[in-house]
Amino acid sequence: MSDQAFYSSLQQKLATLEDEGLFKPERVLASRQGAEVVAQDGRTLINMCANNYLGLSGDVETQEAAAAALEKYGYGLSSVRFICGTQTVHKELEQALSNFLGTEDTILYAAAFDANGGVFEPLFDENDAIISDALNHASIIDGVRLCKAARYRYANNDMADLEKQLIAALDAGKRHKIIVTDGVFSMDGTIAQLDKIVALAEKYGALTMIDESHASGFMGATGRGTHEHCGVIGKIDIITGTLGKALGGAMGGFTSGKKEVIETLRQKSRPYLFSNTLAPMIAGASLAVLERISKSTELRDRLHENTAYFRQEIERIGFTIKPGTHPVVPVMLFEAPVAQKFAARMFELGVLLSGFFYPVVPMGQARVRVQLSAAHTREQLDTVLKAFEQAGKELGIIKN
Ligand SMILES: *Cc1c(COP(=O)(O)O)cnc(C)c1O
């Protein structure tokens, strides 16, 4: 406590964040997660900014599955997996995820952040090349940094640039090359062109990896993910993803792929070796979620119906959106102050939304990001659309 300058420099940096409008306050909810949430002040809001795509976060069936696992396996294990932290429920969940994703084996982590953080260093070294999309998630960027492989970056979703980088890695004489991309990019709802990526990987003898955090459970005809959506099931080498979004929403992550890849990670991946096992109630609930969505596509179908309806109606009212089919719907407001004012007005009108502006998105591309859920009713979506119309007219974004 003898270095006061340290604390004053932090205070200054925090004040600068506030001045620049980059400080992130936390919204406090007084209820469970869902299509409607209760704010701390007691107001009920329609929630349009959770990654709760299938509506399972506050869902009673999910909760009951967690409670059953809690009852059977207890609260926690006080151990990493390889000492005494592996229960039957962890092995069952890994098997179920492999079946669901169409892979050979799966390893669980406490978070997808850890899955991505611990996937590169055990598998690749300075003789290899990682070719990564410029907009990949922070956890992929950090994971790549922890690895000695040469780094190549291609412009977001740009297949010509990807090919250029593959050629550069080939010319540099790199041994193994892996193309890494988010399956879906969460700021724009852009879906990676996995069919083209797989074709390029085949042409240049490269491996492929996708992060399915915004896809597992609802993209593709049966919700298996972006690889199903793009018709390349069985052609992706490594799949990472989260249990903390569509697949239940608590926490947890995974890496899935060929047996020898997963076994290497079990032996060498540091966030797996040196961090506690996933709580058994989360493993049990995730297992129940996978069983539920493997039996019926009802939730996935409802999510896509809600998405199609919202995308159609919001454009009809006169707003500009990024075109697409994903339940992430960026409603473009372009200027940062407009996006801020708009989100604040929507909050007053009872709709929870988040605004994004530079540097999170490019300058002049400010927006509010709507995320649809299977839990939203048509009535709730109509209320939200009415609020959009009202706020849009008040702020002169759409015509009267
Ligand atoms: C949310 C997210 C993660 C992190 O997931 P956690 O399980 O919460 O750590 C990783 N990658 C992508 C693409 C994400 O969207």
pLDDT per residue as tens digits for the range 117-171 = 999 999 999 999 999 999 999 999 999 999 999 999 999 999 999 999 999 999 9
Ligand 1 nearest atom to the CA of residue 183, by list position: 13
Name the band, by pLDDT with cuts 50, 70 and 90, for residue 20.
confident
What is the rounded average pLDDT of the residues 104-108?
A: 98
Q: Which amino acid is at 393?
A: K
Backbone angles phi, psi at 297, to 5 degrees: -95, 15
What is the rounded average pLDDT of the residues 319-342?
A: 95
CB of 228 sitting under 6 A from ligand 1: no
Axis-axis angle for helices 60-73, 280-295 (nearest 10): 140
* 26 annotated as belonging to a binding site for a ligand: no
Cα of 186 vs centre of ligand 1, distance in Å, is 10
CA separation for the pair 291, 302 (Å, rounded): 18
Cα of 69 vs centre of ligand 1, distance in Å, is 24
Domains of the chain and CATH, by start: 19-48+297-395 (3.90.1150.10), 60-295 (3.40.640.10)
The predicted structure's pLDDT at residue 359: 85
Instruction: Give the pairing of strands 328-334 and 105-109.
Output: unpaired
DSSP sequence for 270-298: HHHHTSPPPPHHHHHHHHHHHHHHHH--H
pTM score, whole prediction: 0.97
pLDDT in tens, 214-242: 999 999 999 999 999 999 999 999 999 99
The predicted structure's pLDDT at residue 11: 97
Share of the chain above pLDDT 90, in %: 95
Name the band, by pLDDT with cuts 50, 70 and 90, for residue 77.
very high
Q: Determine the residue of 187, 242, 247 to mutate for testing ligand 1's pocket, defined as the one with the most ligand atoms within 8 A of the Cβ atom.
A: 242
Backbone angles phi, psi at 133, to 5 degrees: -65, 140
Nearest Cα neighbor of 280 from 73, 57, 56 is 73
Instruction: Look at residue 382 and tell me whether its pLDDT is greater than 90.
Output: yes
- Residue partners of 94: CB distance under 8 A and separation at least 6: 105, 106, 107, 108, 254
Q: For residue 193, with 0-12 CB atoms within 10 Å meaning exposed, 13-18 middle and 19 or more buried, which class applies?
A: middle
Instruction: Look at residue 360 and tell me whether its pLDDT is greater than 90.
Output: no
* 137 annotated as belonging to a binding site for a ligand: yes
- Per the CB < 8 A criterion, the answer to whether 45 and 350 are in contact is yes
Instruction: Look at residue 400 and tell me whether its pLDDT is greater than 80.
Output: no
CB of 216 sitting under 6 A from ligand 1: no
Name the band, by pLDDT with cuts 50, 70 and 90, for residue 288.
very high
Question: Residue 175: in which H helix or E strand, if any?
Answer: none
For residue 91 the two structure tokens come to 């092995």
CA separation for the pair 300, 224 (Å, rounded): 10
Would residue 214 show up in a list of annotated catalytic residues for this protein? yes
The predicted structure's pLDDT at residue 197: 98
| Catalytic choice (174, 214, 227, 322) | 214
- Mean pLDDT, the chain, whole residue set: 97
pLDDT in tens, 21-50: 888 889 899 999 999 999 999 999 999 999
Cα of 241 vs centre of ligand 1, distance in Å, is 7
pLDDT in tens, 300-309: 999 999 999 9
Cα of 142 vs centre of ligand 1, distance in Å, is 12
CA separation for the pair 332, 324 (Å, rounded): 13
The predicted structure's pLDDT at residue 303: 98
- Per the CB < 8 A criterion, the answer to whether 116 and 142 are in contact is yes
Would residue 295 show up in a list of annotated catalytic residues for this protein? no
The predicted structure's pLDDT at residue 23: 85
- Per the CB < 8 A criterion, the answer to whether 24 and 215 are in contact is no
CB of 211 sitting under 6 A from ligand 1: yes
